[in-house]
Amino acid sequence: MRPEKVGFIGLGNMGGRMTACLVRAGGEVLGYDVDPDAAQRSGATPVASVGEVVDACDVVLMSLPDSHVVESVVLGDDGALWHASEGQVIVDLSTSSPESTKRIFSLLAEKGADYLDAGISGGAAAADSGTLTLMVGGRGEALEKARPALEVFSSNIYHMGEPGAGHTTKLLNNFLNAVSLAATAEVMLAGKKAGLDLAMLLEVFNKSSGVNFATLNRFPKIITGDYLKGGLSNSLMMKDVALYTELVSRLGVASLNASGPLACFGLAKALGYADQISNTVVDAIGDISGGVRLHERKDP
């Protein structure tokens, strides 16, 4: 189905890719980003402010770095809240705090507008190909209104329940992602130092109980020097793990496994990999393990 005119706020690494999918599908997209050239790169029609996007579109999508930025865009001076209207749907595709999400939902509901929290998974490659997975919280009626736009860049959309449920699901998923990536990085470096054939080692893992997303999809590329540019940075991965620890603390669940990824992605930030794709955590661990690399060094 061809999407109607939609607004998109935040046209960066992921938002720009999702916007490009909408444009390729024949949709009209009004785009706003702090980078004035971002809209043109993604094919959107540029507008000058958040308010202008919200005034013009019944469905508005946002892809932003964290809850602090989301709150400034929605609740700040001339933010989306002040322009929201009856029947409008605003969809947060960021990885945000569920508590912040619930607050924004309530404030927009007072104006008759809906707020959906729609965590995404799949990374840059899935955004490019329109095969992302979405986990959505909020009213089902609002999801149906936004669905024609969301289906353009998503192959799986799950309605997880009430406001905040989508972002809660995303934090749980991202924590598992962080654990498997950090642990696999450590194991692969050990395999390298032990003199094992890394391609064969991965083949064994992927036919055995150690298989995970990182062994299947990340490290077959990393061992050749391809770090799969465009994915979540080490800083953002660290942010997501921190949000996870806040979540489970509120839920009263003991977090016995968070120290590993917090240490690994914190190390990557400290060693200068903060803004690089989180796959480079393997180089950060390699740095303090004797300068080990899984491949002959290329620019990641």
* Residues classed as catalytic: 170
- Separation of alpha carbons 88 and 57, rounded Å: 8
CA 185 to CA 222: how far, in whole Å? 10
| Phi-psi label, residue 150: left if phi above 0, alpha if psi -120 to 50, beta otherwise | alpha
Distances 140 to 6, 63, 263 between C-alpha atoms, Å: 19, 21, 39
Instruction: Write out the H or E segment, with its range, that includes residue 6.
Output: strand 6-9
Amino acid identity of 210? G
CA atoms within 13 A on the CB side of 104: 34
50, 73, 263 from 10: Cα distances, Å: 10, 10, 29
* Alpha-carbon distances, residue 142 vs 77, 102, 115, 162, 222 (angstroms): 26, 15, 8, 12, 40
DSSP symbol at 44: P
